[in-house]
Amino acid sequence: MAGSDPQPKKATPPRPAANAPRKPLQVMHISRKTDEGLINKKSSDENLSKDKSFQEEVLVEKIISPPIKDTIKKEEKLENLNDDFNSISMGDLLRSENKQEASLSYKNFDSIENKRTSEKKNITVDDYDFDEDEFLAALDENQPIGTTGEIAKGSVIAIESDGIYVDIGGKAPGFMPKNECGLGVITNLKERFPKGLEVEVLVTREQNADGMVTISCRALELRKSWDKVQNLAKEGKVIRVKINGFNRGGVTCDFEGLRGFIPRSQLEDGANHQSLVSKTINTAFLEVNPERRKLVLSEKKAAIASRFSELEIGQLIEGTILAIKPYGFFVELKGVSGLLHHSMVTNGSMRSLREVFQEGENLKAVITDLDPSRGRIGLNTALLEGPPGELLTDKEKVMEEAEERAIKARNSLNKEKVDPQKETQNEGNSQ
């Protein structure tokens, strides 16, 4: 076409020369073994890649799918809970929490008990080292301390404004209120009970829930005072007391921390008993009753008791016949009276007591019995006789020789006292 660019001509490959020699044909030899190996290798690689991809898919599913499922389930549960929450009261919620805690505690307790029982089953009897002495000692150690009325010893460990604490060996210390720290008024507890002071106390109240007991020094001192007063009363002792008050019926006094009372009838000057306040007088015991806290004294009986202190068994005493009774003579013995029983008058037979002595007549007799607590004095004139009935036939001679004959009578009385003691000793030795 005129005016258009001519298209480029394609290059023609050179032709081989007609006379050029040809190259020999190349033949590729293929081994069957190598071919099978290549095929197996290729298949194994494919399987390996498939396994890896499968494992990765499973791993991804495990990692990704559970949280997704859980979140879906939680969302569903939350929706259900939100729907039911409005219908649940606070009491129901609290009861459910308590039940859950109780179930958890029971489960824990059951697991602990099962563990203990399994451990106990594995232990045999030979594994225990049992000692009876140690067992008894352990019982003594664990025995509760602080029975009401029991006396205990301990040391002061603390001081408070309202009392003190004393270690008496129990689980908890004993507490002693301020008003129980002693007789009378105690103004300074720290001076009276410094720390470490050893004290003896009486338990007045047993252990409370905390293991603490209530103790008292005052109660213990009062108990000791009552014991002392009872012993003095049995012995017929005379005590001196200071009168500190009076009322219409008599006067009051204090002795060993105890409040005593003296009736007007038991005072030497009962008509003017108010004048005895602040004075000290001699008294004896009329009634001692710790259970009722009753202590009654007598000034008149004190004179008798003091007279008793001058007398003894086997002593020759002189007195005056006060009264004649069917059972004997009452004899006045300088402030006290004695009884001469009819069986103790003479060894001879007599028709009447008046055959021997008359009222107002003086006589001498031997003391054979003394009872200060009851105010009794037993007398005997038969011991002064030589032959039986001598007092009826020659009374004046018996009275004149009474001192000499009283010595023989005292020796015989002392022998009678010694012989029973020897008999008891011999009986004890024979047994």
pLDDT of residue 129: 56
**pLDDT tens string 69-114:** 555 555 555 555 555 545 555 555 555 555 555 454 445 555 655 6
The domain limits of the chain are 139-221, 241-305, 310-418
Given a cut of 60, whether residue 377 has pLDDT beyond it is yes
Q: Which of these, 234, 252, 233, 256, lies nearest to 243 by C-alpha position?
A: 252
**pLDDT tens string 242-289:** 999 999 999 999 998 899 999 999 998 888 999 999 999 999 999 999
Matching fold, domains 139-221 and 241-305: yes
Quick one: average pLDDT of 357-374?
89
Given a cut of 50, whether residue 381 has pLDDT beyond it is yes
pLDDT of residue 384: 92
Given a cut of 70, whether residue 421 has pLDDT beyond it is no
pLDDT of residue 24: 55
> What is the rounded CA–CA span in Å between residue 2 and residue 9?
18
Q: Which two tokens stand for residue 84?
A: 């039911």
Domain 139-221, CATH: 2.40.50.140
Given a cut of 50, whether residue 60 has pLDDT beyond it is no
pLDDT of residue 2: 45
Alpha-carbon distance values, 51 to 29, 55, 57, 59 (Å): 35, 6, 10, 12
Q: Across all residues in the chain, what is the average pLDDT?
A: 75
Confidence label for 325 from pLDDT (cuts 50, 70 and 90): very high
Instruction: State which fold the 310-418 domain adopts.
Output: OB fold (Dihydrolipoamide Acetyltransferase, E2P) (2.40.50)
What one-character DSSP code corresponds to residue 31? -
Confidence label for 374 from pLDDT (cuts 50, 70 and 90): confident
Q: Which of these, 221, 228, 264, 218, lies nearest to 243 by C-alpha position?
A: 264
Given a cut of 60, whether residue 177 has pLDDT beyond it is yes
Q: Which residue has the tokens 């007391």?
A: 241
Q: Side chain identity at 358, as an amino acid letter? A: Q
Given a cut of 90, whether residue 189 has pLDDT beyond it is no
pLDDT of residue 90: 54
Binning the chain into helix, strand and coil, the percentages to the nearest 5 are: 45, 25, 30
Q: CA torsion sign, 198 to 202 to 205 to 207?
A: positive
Q: Cα-flanking dihedrals φ and ψ of residue 248, to 5°? A: -65, -30
Strand partners, 177: 163
Q: Which of these, 226, 237, 296, 290, lies nearest to 265 by C-alpha position?
A: 296
pLDDT of residue 73: 55
**pLDDT tens string 387-407:** 888 998 899 999 999 998 898
Span 241-305 CATH architecture:
Beta Barrel (2.40)
Q: Cα-flanking dihedrals φ and ψ of residue 412, to 5°? A: -65, -40
Gyration radius (Cα) of the chain, Å = 59
Q: Which residues contact 327 (CB under 8 A, 6 or more apart)?
A: 341, 342
